[in-house]
Amino acid sequence: MPRYRLLIEYDGSPYNGFQAQAGQPSVQTSLERAVEAFCGEPARVHCAGRTDSGVHATGQVVHFEVDKVWKPDTVRDAVNAHLMPEPIAVIEASVAVGDFHARFSAIGRRYIYRILNRRPPPALEQNRVWHVKQPLDAQAMHDAAQRLLGLHDFTTFRDARCQANSPMKTLDFAQVRREGEQIVLEFAARSFLHRQVRSMTGSLAEVGVGRWTADDLQAALEAADRARCGQVAPAEGLYLTRVEY
């Protein structure tokens, strides 16, 4: 049975996350419906990362299996045709090699978070950025973010509903930079806890506006106490941008 690997992007605004849920729109449900529509058989779609409601992706990876052999370009184009007009697109399709699994074969994931940092609200990028009116010090945020690198107990930045077996995670990369009116935060790790990136981003924003110092952020991390987390950044600024295998 051939297994197909897809690179996809989507606007998460209309969906209640990636994972299928009864009675709720989801990216997984839309993909599975499109696959069945073109090949005539149901297929379970597996993803590299189960993004939350409202979270976007430019580099999500999924796989599925069907009985019939198709050319990868045919899979890409046919799935896209049956996804229209939904804001989901298959960018690349290929036949998976060996025992490839979109989730379990992944060795790294990369996210960015986009903040629009100006007084006027977004017009063209509604639901795609977090609008923060107060001036943010990107350098102070970047310097503080380096305190999060390495292996830590990330309980402070872990959602109460997180189902991970352990709060111990290794953050491999953290960068905060200003791009015009935007502050872009970028994080990379093998895996993340539920809402870890949004929790870290919200706490770094506290540093950016001057309410916290880098020492305050480090103290919150070391406390391993969810109550010490700053605000949790909203979903609309978060993007899964890359999965490494």
Does 14 share its domain with 85?
A: yes
Looking at residue 103, its pLDDT comes to 96
Q: Which residues contact 65 (CB under 8 A, 6 or more apart)?
A: 1, 2, 3, 4, 43, 44
Please indicate, yes or no, whether residues 61 and 162 belong to a single structural domain of this protein.
no
199 and 127 in one domain? yes
Burial class of 22 by CB neighbour count within 10 A (0 to 12, 13 to 18, 19+) = exposed
Q: Are residues 74 and 163 in the same domain?
A: no
Q: Which of 95, 127, 150 is the last residue of a domain?
A: 95
Q: 75-78 long-range CB contacts below 8 Å, 24 or more apart?
A: 75/4, 75/6, 75/38, 76/6, 78/38, 78/39
Confidence (pLDDT) at 200? 98
Active site residues: 52
Q: Are residues 234 and 114 in the same domain?
A: yes
User: What pLDDT sits at residue 133?
Assistant: 98
State the pLDDT at residue 202. 98
Q: Are residues 112 and 210 in the same domain?
A: yes
Last residue of a domain, one of 95, 128, 153: 95
The residue segments making up the domain with residue 44 are: 3-95
Q: Is residue 101 part of a domain?
A: no
Series of mean pLDDT values for 10-residue runs along the chain (245 residues): 96 96 95 96 95 97 94 97 98 95 97 98 97 98 98 96 93 98 98 97 98 98 97 97 98
Predicted local distance difference test score (pLDDT) of residue 230: 95
Give the number of residues written for the chain.
245
Query: How confident is the model at residue 163, as a pLDDT?
Result: 87
